[in-house]
Structures are given as C-alpha cells and as structure tokens.
C-alpha cells in the first residue's frame, strides 16, 4: 500500500484538489478574453490577500525574483539601506542589495531570535546624524523567517521605519495567508510573497504589493531593469494583461486558490494556522523535544524549528519519517543543516495532517 506523500514543509505546500484540477485545464491564450477575465478576478484578489488598495504586481518568478525586483525598482546604486537579518532569508535582502551596489548595513540577531524594535530604533536614531540625502533610503525586513521559524514584530518595526521616513520593504513570503498581515493599515510600502506558500499553489508566481511611497521611489530609480520593471507591469495590469507571457496555468490555479481562501476568510485562515502551530509546538514539547523558538510571541505560524533528541539525529528522524510514513519534514538550512528539523504547517494543511505527523514522530522517538 502506498499512501500519498504528506508534505509538512514550509513550501511548496500540498495542493487542494480544486487547484490541481485548475492546473490541468486546457491551454489558454494569454491574450484571450477568457484569460483577461481571470486577471480581472485574480488581481483584486491579490489586493484582498495583502489588504491593500494599491496595485499588486504579478510576476512569473519565485519569491526571490520579487525580492530582487523590489530593490532594483526602488533604489539606486550607492543608496544606504538597512537590512534586518535573522536567518537565511532575511540575509538574502542584504546579499541582493550588495550585489546591485547598495550600501547595506545589517542588524543581525542570532538564529532563533527576532529583530527587535529597540535595536531598529537605535539604528534609525543614529542615522539622523547623517545629512538627509545620505540617510537610509529603505529598511528591508522579513516577517516570517522560514529558516528558523521566527515571526518578527512586523507592525511595530514598520511603525519605526515610517517615523524615520525610509521605505519599508517586507518579505511576506511565508507570512501572507498564514499570519495577520495588513499592508495598508500597517503602512508597509512594499511587500513580496510567492505562490507555493499560503496560496497553496505550485512554485512559479511572485506577488509584489507596491504602496504610493514605493511608486515615488520607483520614479527616481535610474535603472529599474526590463523584465521586472514596475512601470511596464503596472501599465499592462491596468488593462488586465501582462507585459510578457505569464504562467497561464498557475494564474488559472491562482483564481481557484483565491476562491478557496475567500471562502475560508483571512481571519479563519490565520486562526487555523495558529491552531496548527499550537498543536505542533505542544505535541513536540510533550514528547521531550526542544523548540528553537521557545517564545510563543515570536514563533512563526508557518513553520516550527526543532532540535533533535540525543539518540535520534535530525537527518535520521527525517529519513525514517519519510521511509516509514511518507511524511516529509524540512532540514535545517545553512549552519543549521542537519542540526534541526523544521515542521511546516503552512497552506493546505489540516489538524489531521498535524496529528498524523505528531503520531509518526512519536513512534520514532
């Protein structure tokens, strides 16, 4: 007997049946009226998900593409920027920034900790000693740091950035559709996400919500690139098309996913993730595991990082889970590779999936 694989990783997440059916639809021309009608539904749907009245740009790319697009389109080489670093993905902001010639300063906390309002406030206060033209133009930060399972206090961090006047550029890749997130109410200037996470789709679409201040910055940007160019994408999307050939099957499936998400409702989606997170944290703690993020207040609702027990290494636990139960949990990344395992509880995941995973782990330890 071969039960289907259970993917308990923080993306790509399992696919709902309606999404899989949508992915199997006959090919559709991307300039056809049928496809235009899908974009007329999907683009406002993305605004609903980000809780924004401003345009959400849709790219055929992964989340990293949207991260690069956001910096390339709003900043110029030599601009000073601040990156809040707490793991692999938040470090990526600094890496991309340096590569495109930004003058990047990092505030780095050890793995498993969240970036704090106090250290951000201090850095932004110190920045005021620079003449206005040389102050930080942007602060890049990550809501849910997937490599460690930390949820940063985004609302509070963005409030500080707003008071300083820099652009807030937010990675919401594993927080959108899982954690509370409110682009406009929280005053976020630019936020990125991807399809294979809370949207329950395969990888391949990137979403980029752009607020008015980010549009102003874009106007000052000397080389916004070609494929990811905000102006080209906005202009095309205004008439419900795309500048280049998009991934039509993924966008058709996005319509199905958004319909499902709207039916559940954002508050219920956030509540479901909180429940799953609580079950995973409580279940593993009861078994004797130590969590990498013991503080519930800064724990991501998408993924839980766990230290293995002395008698069963993380690679062995992962291998046995896969072999015996066809359940996949994620490895650690970077310096944490092989040292922790990460249980994803993101997207199309139910209480039954979590209970199955917990019981399977229990039988191995």
**Least distance in Å: CB of 196 to ligand PLP?**
6
Answer for which of 68, 111, 171, 180 binds ligand PLP (CB under 6 A) is 171
Q: Does 333 bind ligand PLP (CB under 6 A)?
A: no
Among 47, 64, 105, 108, indicate the residue that binds ligand PLP (CB under 6 A): 64
Q: Among residues 86 and 317, whose Cβ is nearest to ligand PLP?
A: 86
Nearest residue (beta carbon) to ligand PLP: 63
Q: Which long-range contacts (CB under 8 A, 24 or more apart) does 94-100 make?
A: 94/140, 96/64, 96/67, 96/68, 96/71, 97/71, 97/140, 100/68, 100/71, 100/72, 100/75
Kind plus residue range of the DSSP H or E element containing 107: strand 103-108
Tell me whether residue 35 or residue 207 sits nearer to ligand PLP (CB atom): 207
Residue 243 near residue 216 (C-beta atoms within 8 A): no
Q: Cβ closer to ligand PLP: 45 or 63?
A: 63
Other CB atoms within 10 Å distance of the CB of residue 41: 13
Cα first-last separation, the chain: 24
Residue 11 binding ligand PLP, by CB under 6 A: yes
- Piece of the chain touching ligand PLP by CB under 6 A; list 13-21, 59-67, 112-120, 323-331: 59-67
Tell whether residue 173 is a contact of ligand PLP (CB under 6 A).
yes
Tokens, residue 196: 């294979």
What is the three-class DSSP state of 114? coil
Q: Which is nearer to ligand PLP, 146 or 248 (CB)?
A: 146
Residue 218 or 342 having the CB closest to ligand PLP: 342
- Identify the residue among 97, 112, 177, 194 touching ligand PLP (CB under 6 A): 194
152 CB neighbour count, 10 Å cutoff: 27
Q: What is the largest distance, in Å, between two alpha-carbon atoms of the chain? A: 69
DSSP 240: T
Report, in Å, the least distance between residue 2 CB and ligand PLP: 28
Q: Total number of residues binding ligand PLP (CB under 6 A)?
A: 13
Segment 128 to 167, residues that bind ligand PLP, using CB under 6 A: 142, 144, 146
Contacting range for ligand PLP; rule: CB under 6 A; set: 14-22, 122-130, 169-177, 346-354 = 169-177
Min dist CB 195 to ligand PLP, Å, is 8
Q: Are 300 and 151 in contact (CB under 8 A)?
A: yes
DSSP string across 269-280:
HHHHHHHHHHHH
Chain residues 198-227 in contact with ligand PLP, contact rule CB under 6 A:
203
Q: Which is nearer to ligand PLP, 173 or 317 (CB)?
A: 173
Cα dist from 297 to 156, 293, 301, whole Å? 13, 9, 10
Q: Is the dihedral of CA 69, 140, 296, 47 positive or negative?
A: negative
3 state DSSP class of 328: strand
Taking contact as CB under 6 A, which single stretch among the options 56-64, 289-297, 307-315, 355-363 is the one that binds ligand PLP? 56-64
Rounded Cα distance between 257 and 77, Å, is 38
Tell the residue number behind the tokens 């130590």, with chain if given: 290
> Looking only at residues 76 through 105 of this chain, which bind ligand PLP when binding is defined by CB under 6 A?
89
Residue 68 or 127: which CB sits closer to ligand PLP?
68
Instruction: Give yes or no for a contact between 248 and 30, defined as CB atoms under 8 angstroms apart.
Output: yes
Among 23, 28, 47, 62, binds ligand PLP (CB under 6 A): 62
Shortest distance, position 96 Cβ to ligand PLP, whole Å: 11
Q: Which of 174, 242, 247, 300 touches ligand PLP (CB under 6 A)?
A: 174
CB 189 within 8 A of CB 166: no
Binding site for ligand PLP (CB under 6 A): 11, 62-64, 89, 142, 144, 146, 171, 173-174, 194, 203
């Amino acid at each position: 007997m071969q039960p289907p694989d259970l993917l308990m990783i923080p993306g790509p997440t399992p696919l709902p049946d309606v999404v899989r059916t949508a992915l199997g639809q006959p090919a559709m021309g991307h300039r056809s009226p049928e496809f235009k009608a899908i974009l007329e539904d999907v683009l406002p749907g993305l605004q609903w998900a980000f809780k924004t009245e401003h345009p959400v740009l849709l790219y055929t790319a992964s989340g990293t593409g949207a991260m690069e697009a956001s910096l390339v389109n709003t900043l110029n080489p030599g601009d000073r920027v601040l990156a809040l670093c707490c793991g692999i993905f938040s470090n990526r902001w600094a890496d991309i920034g340096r590569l495109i010639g930004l003058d990047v300063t990092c505030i780095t906390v050890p793995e498993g900790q969240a970036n704090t309002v106090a250290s951000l406030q201090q850095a932004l206060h110190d920045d005021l000693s620079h003449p206005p033209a040389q102050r930080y133009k942007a602060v890049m930060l990550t809501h849910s740091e997937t490599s460690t399972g930390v949820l940063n206090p985004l609302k509070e961090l963005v409030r500080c950035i707003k008071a300083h006047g820099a652009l807030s550029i937010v990675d919401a890749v594993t927080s959108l559709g899982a954690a509370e997130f409110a682009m406009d109410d929280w005053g976020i200037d630019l936020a990125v996400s991807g399809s294979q996470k809370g949207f329950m789709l395969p990888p391949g679409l990137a979403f980029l919500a752009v607020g008015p201040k980010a549009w102003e910055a874009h106007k000052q940007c000397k080389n916004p690139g070609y494929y990811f160019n905000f102006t080209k994408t906005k202009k095309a999307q205004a008439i419900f098309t795309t500048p280049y050939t998009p991934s039509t099957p993924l966008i058709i499936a996005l319509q199905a996913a958004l319909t499902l998400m709207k039916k559940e409702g954002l508050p219920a989606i956030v509540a479901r993730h909180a429940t799953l997170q609580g079950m995973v944290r409580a279940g593993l703690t009861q078994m004797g595991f130590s969590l990498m993020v013991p503080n519930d207040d800064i724990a991501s609702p998408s993924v839980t990082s766990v230290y293995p027990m002395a008698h069963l290494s993380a690679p062995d636990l992962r291998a046995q889970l896969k072999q015996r139960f066809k359940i996949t949990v994620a490895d650690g990344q970077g310096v944490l590779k092989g040292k922790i395992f990460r249980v994803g509880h993101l997207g199309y995941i139910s209480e039954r999936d979590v209970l199955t995973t917990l019981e399977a782990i229990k039988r191995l330890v």
